[in-house]
Amino acid sequence: KVLRFYCVWDDTESPYGDRRYLVLLYYLADDTISIHEVLEANAGRDSGAAFLRRGKLPKEQGGLVKQPGQITPRTILNVFGPSLSGRYILDNLRTGSLSDRYYLDADLTIGTVIDVFGRRVLLCDCDAFTREYYSLKYGVAEFTPIQLKDEAGQPIPTELPPYDGCFGSEEDSIQSCLSLIPQPPRPAPGKHLPRDTGLERSQLRFTARLNSGLPQDVDRSFIITYYLVDDTIAVFEQRQRNSGVVGGKFQERRKVKAADGARYLNAFDLVVGEPVQLGGHKFVLTDADDFAYNFMYDHEFPESNVATILSKFKAHAPEKLSAAVAEVTAASSGDFCVADKFAQILQKNLGALVNPQNIKALQRGFSEGDLPSGEGELELLVSQIQSVLAKKNYDNFTNLNKAFLYYDKDRKGVLSQDQIKQICFEYNLPVADSLLSAVIARMPTNPLGLIDYNAFAQCLHYTTSPALKQSASFTSTAAENLSATVRSAVLTTRGSFDSSVNSRKFAEAAA
């Protein structure tokens, strides 16, 4: 049977010393002791060898080294001294014999410090069998363990040097501080679109002007692209003849820190009509494309959320909001007000409190309706989409048909609405998303909800299958008989009119 104690040898006072954790085994059969070291992973020491091999452990280390003849079975006594011939007798009482004292089980208790050949070892704990042994033999009832290891303190935070902006991006510079051999930074997924689905675009595009206060920068025009897949931003300057500015790439695609330097800019920071700081330049966003407006509206950005916008108006300018509602109602024909007039009224009454992004969100929020399949709507939409393609001189119909055929693996002549949208996007069909979605939604489908892509391609081809041309006398009043989505698509495409706003719904929501 063996008694087991858990010990520690604190050698921190020695140069390069540390705490060594040990296990002491006391063998009851012959009162011998062995000690083994507990090595942690990557401790830098060889494992397997015993710290102290099995044997009796003496209490005094001075008895280990004795002079020759000092240890004898008998002692000889000089009885008469050196003056006479001398007479010697044996000491039967063994008065001068040396006896070593060894550690026994009674000497080993929790909290005791034993001397292991010059190394002071503290007994901190024991196992269950050892506790039972001491409680039965010696009546010990207290076995409070001593903490072997120090409590893990708070990790020291790594302080990275500030980014100087001279070489590479900040992510590249951080990699040089984290490892001896820098690794390429792993791109983090975007907050709003973790991956590019392929079905919809993954960039928000804004037009902007440089707000530097210099007269030579007044006419400069920029396109700011926000990439949703990794939250990076790129700036491109539009080329203008005889402007004295080369144009082209203005800022490399990268993550951009906010003005305070504490975080990176995200999509919420890009608001049409508001300034934004990109590096050392200050821009003012003037407009955005249809996809950006729709994406911000669908994902309920604060400046594109109808409820949030109206709450802002009610909190800061309730009288001005009431005046705007009354003026919109007065300018309406029936329940509808032309969107341009709606925007002018809001800007006149609310002033700096409303921005173009708010107006776009309100126009869409109060012009949405059901999608009825009334007679003549598909023909009207097809005529508009063909008109747009003709103006753009789009002639990539052959490759478009090949793409439809490629996606039709079963050769059944039908595809889903999402597949048709994806193909139109991949082949850069120059049509607004709202108009394209309205046409696809009204195409005839089979019982499985699939569309004949040959019929859809025939609707797009303005030379081989021209649709009935829309009358030039088409006005917003005539458009009121159509559904809200069709009216918005048609009037927006024609460019002479914008979509209409339901003034009654706007008044109810603003009340």
Instruction: Return the closest-CA partner of residue 114 out of 209, 26, 177, 224.
Output: 26
d(CA 442, CA 432): 16
Compute the distance between CA of residue 325 and CA of residue 320 in angstroms, rounded to an integer. Answer: 9
Per-residue pLDDT reduced to its tens digit, 19-67:
889 999 999 999 999 999 988 877 778 777 788 999 998 887 765 556 6
Rg (CA), the chain: 44
pLDDT at 113: 93
* Angle, alpha carbons 352-355-358 (nearest 5°): 135
Which of 373-387, 461-475, 478-492 is the most confident on average? 373-387
CA-closest candidate to residue 21, choices 11, 32, 34 = 11
Q: How many CA atoms lie within 13 A of 441 on its CB side?
A: 16
Percent of the chain, pLDDT > 70?
Answer: 79
Name the more confident of 102 and 169.
102
For residues 441-475, one letter each, b for 16 or more C-beta atoms within 10 angstroms of the residue's C-beta and e for the rest, the string is: ebbeeeeeebbbbeebbebbbbeeeebeebeeeee
For the stretch 158-210, pLDDT in tens is 788 887 766 777 778 888 888 888 888 776 666 655 555 444 467 899 999 99
Direct distance between the N- and C-terminal alpha carbons of the chain, in angstroms, rounded to an integer: 88
Q: What is the pLDDT of residue 479?
A: 42
pLDDT tens digits for range 297-354: 888 899 999 999 999 999 888 899 999 989 988 888 777 888 888 889 999 998 889 9
The rounded percent of the chain whose pLDDT value lies above 90 is 23
pLDDT tens profile 241-277: 888 888 899 998 888 888 887 888 889 999 999 999 9
Q: What is the pLDDT of residue 387?
A: 81
Tell me the three state secondary structure of residue 122: strand
Q: What is the DSSP string of 197-253?
A: -SSS--EEEEEEEE-S--GGGTT-EEEEEEETTTTEEEEEEPP-TTSS---EEEEEE
Average pLDDT, the chain: 80
Tokens of 341: 């007039």
Confidence of residue 384 (pLDDT cuts 50, 70, 90): confident
Question: What pLDDT sits at residue 468?
Answer: 47
Tokens of residue 206, six digits: 């804004």
> What band does 224 get if pLDDT is binned at 50, 70 and 90?
very high
Q: What are phi and psi of 393, to 5 degrees?
A: 55, 40
CA 276 to chain centre: 23
Question: How big is the CA angle at 14 (ends 10 and 20), to the nearest 5 degrees?
Answer: 30
Question: What is the CB-side half-sphere exposure of residue 61 using CA atoms within 13 A?
Answer: 7
> What burial class does residue 331 get, using C-beta atoms within 10 Å of its C-beta: 0-12 exposed, 13-18 middle, 19+ buried?
middle
C-beta of residue 210 within 8 angstroms of C-beta of residue 275 = no
Distance separating alpha carbons of residues 146 and 299, to the nearest angstrom: 58
* Among the listed residues 214, 31, 25, 36, the one whose alpha carbon sits nearest the alpha carbon of residue 130: 25
Can you tell me the distance from the alpha carbon of 389 to that of 166, in angstroms, rounded to the nearest whole number? 47
